[in-house]
Structure 1
């Protein structure tokens, strides 16, 4: 067979990768060119490229390239081609035009002129013409214009080669299959797979990266799943050659599947996991990759000894919508990688390389790729300690600070002096020393004293009206001066960003270091964690509420609902409660509560920890249990997957309180608290219960500047 010059088209910035792939497939003279790559070969080579290329969009067989300076000249060029050698009148055809031609301003007009030329030639020579089918034609013609040159080709691929045939459902912003393959190739997955490495995508969406990774690792031709190609409607098609290529590909597939390693995909969205499993089955790989609904914080290798590639296409503000929480998401991803994937390689595909800096990992390389019209970066990481960097912004040295930084330092010094005597008298070890006192430095700063002194900083998210660069500069100033003023090493300072929270968002994991530290409060010992969650496990503004509970608990049966880390239970037990019941729907926080109880020497069957949705548990216990003292501090809003229905505390507090009061002895007491700043209690709806506002009495001195930090009421059946 004579050699032909083929053109393989590809998305922008993939031409060199495509040329490398074609060379590996045995194509002669494969070279990158504008819009893709060229290669020389036989028709069989063209078929092989259609079957095996993971990067190409189309494989084109050029017929002619001639000048065309007007619509009439384009018509004449197309009319002279012997289309009867390629197509019969009984088959349908379509024309696609890309590029631009001098004298032709409308692409559809160019398409129309070529269609007319083909149809008129058939009509003149055979007395009938083939029909046009723009959707599913038997034969496709491709026209490419550049200045005054028109190139006309036969499209051997038909529909775009990225359409493998396994995907019929997509996530919110799915990657095209050939882009996913390009990401994996650039990330070194072929070499990792050859060495038996694992592949894991912690935000897998509809599963494209994992499935493409499996096809590549198992040496499965991406075109094996397709029902047809463009050459099937070409009169010069050689079916015998094609069947031989298919037979070879099937043999390679059967052998490759046997050596396929660990392939895993996780996603928080159950619909995405269902789509991934469906696509896996359509790809003929059912059971050969593992998809599972998991939070990012629960992401881990399939086996402890696994190593390989973590590849992920996280949200980056395009298509899915801009999101102020993206830096925190990327920081969370970086923390998970550093905690559980040391020794792995990682590849993160994003349109915003700045977001990658939030990961706390130094990228070793980056590539540019396009996701449709969006220019993106593929960030490459080696997850090794030598590449770890702090997730915090770099503190500014004194010479780079503004006058505002000096004001902040003065305010911190003044606050510490004002609180020092009270702190010593009350034996307070953990306190708030600053709460956005200067509006430009919108921070909450807490000091925790245990075996060391730690500083926990929460940055209130700046409103859209504040220049993000200025906000970032101020936090860097603060991070530079806070360790100096408080005499704390920088590594004992922890920064979080606090945004408006919904439900139990303040409890959601940011990392999983499990670095716990011991602190004391009025002689009670507690475990705190500064890294894994937005909050530390000890709400400092509840200090006086806890002390009140301890003072009231002697001889009482105590119930702690929405218990979090069980700190109120510790006070009740140490205050002489005859029994305690601690209820929360998080196993993690119940384990934490158990640690707090143990730390204080509280043990025995009379101190019960219950894992349950509190709303449902209250309903189930009606008439079965009674308590003398109940503390209830519910979230403002909750839609947790483990929760029975939803909870909106403003909407539901009357029903929730009345339901919980059925567990209270007639002469008992409920303490009800929440931190919804706009909350208004419905005393009429709670009638005839006796409701007394004790919020001001439970506000610690170090929170006096912010009286809306929480609300608190005593609720009884009868006034005393």
Structure 2
């Protein structure tokens, strides 16, 4: 085999320039950067050095052969031309990693089979033996098909080089070691660094990768398995020599441990893992791990006393799960405040999920780099806190803050006087901040409306987060009591969707009645605030009456009717979950559920099945705007179907009875003529039913009192 090897080092997207620089620093000549990695020619000793020292490459691949592919059977024939008996022994196991597609090869498993066939054919022809395939192989062959060209390699690493060997346990959102190395390199860590701090350290990956660079510890020294160990071109004595040189460099660098690395995390278990990782690397005596909160972190050293600016490098939570967004945003906001106030003189690097999170820090960045943690796109920003960092100002911020303060001051007083503690604070009052904000006692629920099609998603997201940021700074609500929901621009009670469980439950009151609301686990909370007037009106007219509540949801209207003295309340809803919730609302108000009925049924089908002999004094009818639930027999459109729905309900209404009919379709038009033909007459109560917190959007709902006309 030639003394010069042709190698390709792969890396994550975005790391190619850093890998190019790293290979040059390792003394590799004529490195050629390309998408996904770098090509280079080198000696065997240099190949060992790259495997041992690269902090950024995922794999180091030795090119063995290539061919053009016109049809699938070209592959085994071409692969069999490689002298595989000089690559590995027949008693060794192997595995094929195949990537790429071709008109004849649509599955990677089929492609791998073709390459395997070529290898086996060669062994049988030359040695009359064949090696076996294994999921834990001695030798790993990488084959990549691009357009009509197939190239195959020996994987010298054997498994991804991000597996350094020191991390045997990890947290819930691990950062790959190769990405961590890229982050600390971009942050400026080198062999002269004196102080590095990570206030979100988790299992310590960022700090340990930084310490390995500072103390010249080769990242491959802890690995026990290499793909080249079964390669027949492997020279064990040369490999040991390369390892010994690396061990000597580390021993000399760590002999004078002047640099310190400080990790802070609020999870003691993760700090325990970090300590174990540092101990495996021989770096425990230069690392300091403390339980603490990043939002209250204090500098590990006085920057003014350092010869070089200390570094703070971190990867705060991204808040990817629904329900975590608000807490994550406010975490970044408070962390940015702490950096400005306490870390003057420091250099800072923050790896975040996207630009909107970084904006919450309110720091002016020096540079930004797009990086990938596996398939997740991230953004690294660097900051120089040695210059004055002023908070960014935005012209619209005062308008939004003023509107929120004004609404809160006005409506809080109104709500207290009215006897309610659940009310709407804001409803897209400023069109660019397209959301509704509801207060539930000591909590806030932010409901994002779908942005217009001409607004870029990134702009809409940034505006939403600015709204949340302003809410947090201007109003007296804790971050853990703020919840974000995303819905289409419609107030109608469409489909009730379960969200990621979080369990933010409160008891709220209106007009002396109590309700359980769940602010985090469903798209809606269990109480439609705009209908409180209708619920109270129902209570006023229910004394000694029989009441039917259709599409009852969590039975809040039923509770008002029962509290108003109804003889019997029948609540009908399709959902068993919401009816159980309704029974809890009855118990909250010390009402005897045995005196009332809770019926799980499709309301339309149930109405059709009822005999007119069972009639009610009052019917509360509040259907969804539109529903196509799989459990319903029909698709319901309230505009199209409201007359038929009212006619069905009127069959069960006493001659002097009343139907309170409401819906949330914005441009709903009552068909009075069709109702008249059915001997029904309607009185529009909509204007009276719009309370102070919804008067900015008078079309939020429609309410009618319907009676028999004859």
- TM-score by length of structure 2 reads 0.59
Contact preservation (8 Å) 1:141, 1:152: yes
Partner residue, 1:463 = 447
Give ranges in structure 1 of 5+ residues lacking alignment: 417-434, 446-457, 483-492, 506-677, 683-704, 707-720
Partner residue, 1:256 = 253
Are residues 134 and 209 of structure 1, via their aligned partners in 2, closer, same or farther at CA, if it must alter by over 3 Å? same
> How far apart are residue 409 of structure 1 and its match?
6.2
Matches within 5 A, 1:172-571: 172-190=172-190, 193-194=191-192, 196-260=193-257, 261-304=259-302, 305=305, 307-318=309-320, 322-390=324-392, 394-395=395-396, 460-464=444-448, 495=474, 498=477, 501=480
> How far apart are residue 460 of structure 1 and its match?
4.1
- 1:28 aligned counterpart, secondary structure: coil
> How far apart are residue 324 of structure 1 and its match?
2.1
For 1:300 and 1:680, how far apart are their aligned partners in 2? 47
Q: Deviations over 1:201-221 (max 9, x none)?
A: 111111111111111110110
> How far apart are residue 71 of structure 1 and its match?
2.1
Are residues 100 and 46 of structure 1, via their aligned partners in 2, closer, same or farther at CA, if it must alter by over 3 Å? farther
Q: Deviations over 1:148-197 (max 9, x none)?
A: 1010111111111111001111111101111100111111112xx51x43
Q: Deviations over 1:427-473 (max 9, x none)?
A: xxxxxxxx97666678999xxxxxxxxxxxx9944235587988987
Are residues 235 and 300 of structure 1, via their aligned partners in 2, closer, same or farther at CA, if it must alter by over 3 Å? same
Partner residue, 2:659 = none
For 1:35 and 1:103, how far apart are their aligned partners in 2? 25
For 1:266 and 1:221, how far apart are their aligned partners in 2? 25
Q: Deviations over 1:93-152 (max 9, x none)?
A: 1111123344211101111111122122212221221121122x1112111110110101
> How far apart are residue 348 of structure 1 and its match?
1.0
Are residues 320 and 120 of structure 1, via their aligned partners in 2, closer, same or farther at CA, if it must alter by over 3 Å? farther
- 1:498 aligned counterpart, secondary structure: coil
Partner residue, 1:526 = none
Residue 158 in 1 paired to residue 158 in 2?
yes
Matches within 5 A, 1:640-719: none
Partner residue, 1:535 = none
Partner residue, 1:64 = 65
For 1:320 and 1:89, how far apart are their aligned partners in 2? 52
Are residues 496 and 169 of structure 1, via their aligned partners in 2, closer, same or farther at CA, if it must alter by over 3 Å? farther
- 2:344 aligned counterpart, secondary structure: coil
> How far apart are residue 343 of structure 1 and its match?
1.0
- 1:94 aligned counterpart, secondary structure: strand
Are residues 282 and 319 of structure 1, via their aligned partners in 2, closer, same or farther at CA, if it must alter by over 3 Å? farther
Are residues 267 and 321 of structure 1, via their aligned partners in 2, closer, same or farther at CA, if it must alter by over 3 Å? farther
Partner residue, 2:128 = 127
- 2:474 aligned counterpart, secondary structure: strand
Q: Report the more deviating stretch, 354-363 or 299-308.
A: 299-308
- 1:276 aligned counterpart, secondary structure: helix
Q: Deviations over 1:570-599 (max 9, x none)?
A: xxxxxxxxxxxxxxxxxxxxxxxxxxxxxx
RMSD: 4.0
> How far apart are residue 45 of structure 1 and its match?
1.0
> How far apart are residue 340 of structure 1 and its match?
1.8
For 1:310 and 1:291, how far apart are their aligned partners in 2? 15
> How far apart are residue 291 of structure 1 and its match?
1.5
- 2:372 aligned counterpart, secondary structure: strand
Contact preservation (8 Å) 1:218, 1:259: no
For 2:238 and 2:271, how far apart are their aligned partners in 1? 39
Contact preservation (8 Å) 1:395, 1:477: no
Contact preservation (8 Å) 1:461, 1:499: no
Matches within 5 A, 1:15-94: 15-94=16-95
For 2:467 and 2:360, how far apart are their aligned partners in 1? 18
Contact preservation (8 Å) 1:394, 1:476: no
Contact preservation (8 Å) 2:162, 2:176: yes
Q: Deviations over 1:458-507 (max 9, x none)?
A: 99442355879889879989999x9xxxxxxxxxx9535725756xx9xx
- 2:154 aligned counterpart, secondary structure: strand
For 1:396 and 1:500, how far apart are their aligned partners in 2? 20
Q: Report the more deviating stretch, 232-241 or 118-127.
A: 118-127
- TM-score by length of structure 1 reads 0.58
> How far apart are residue 16 of structure 1 and its match?
1.2
Q: Report the more deviating stretch, 288-297 or 48-57.
A: 288-297
Are residues 346 and 114 of structure 1, via their aligned partners in 2, closer, same or farther at CA, if it must alter by over 3 Å? same
- 2:446 aligned counterpart, secondary structure: coil
For 2:292 and 2:587, how far apart are their aligned partners in 1? 33
